[in-house]
Amino acid sequence: MKNLMLIASVFIILAVAGCASQSDENISSPVNATSPSPASKLTEAASGTIDLAINNTTMRSADWAANYTVTVSPILRNLGDTVNNVEVGLYANDNLLKTFILNFSRGETKSPSYNWFPTESGRYEIKVIIDPANKIKDVNRQNNQFSYSVRIS
């Protein structure tokens, strides 16, 4: 049975409403789970302003176990004017895994990916933060963060 489960891909798409946070209390490992995309909730910002948002995030793995790769792909959208050198931090249990530096045109969507390789079992909080140092004058910081709790066996 475990071999059959190994081929299952995990797709977790989480809605962002403010600072989204999800828990895997009812999720076994590995899983196929999908939450509605918040794309319809995101609206374009007024001209002359910057609003970067995490549209949703996908996480995929052949198995939620130590020593298996988990691909984390935040889907980021610029709802405001063009902005360059945007820092996006990806964390596991508040430890920085990867920093992306991205440039966005107005209305542009980007989805950088990172292959995370957890070596120990346990519960991890995966977090994505747009502009963690607050260098950009973003008009809506409520949509700049995503977190999800995942159990690695």
Domains defined for the chain, CATH in brackets: 2-152 (2.60.40.10)
pLDDT of residue 1: 37
pLDDT of residue 74: 95
pLDDT of residue 45: 62
Q: How many CB atoms lie within 10 A of CB 134?
A: 10
| Contact by Cβ (8 Å): 33, 12 | yes
Distance CA 37, CA 22 (A): 14
pLDDT of residue 33: 29
Amino acid letter, 136: I
Distance CA 21, CA 57 (A): 12
Q: Please give the structure tokens belonging to residue 116.
A: 């995370």
pLDDT of residue 55: 87
pLDDT of residue 35: 34
One pLDDT digit (tens) per residue for the chain, 153 residues? 333 333 233 333 333 333 343 333 322 233 332 333 444 466 666 677 899 999 888 899 988 899 999 999 999 999 999 999 999 999 999 999 999 999 999 999 999 999 999 999 999 999 999 999 999 999 999 999 999 899 999
Whole-prediction pTM value?
0.73
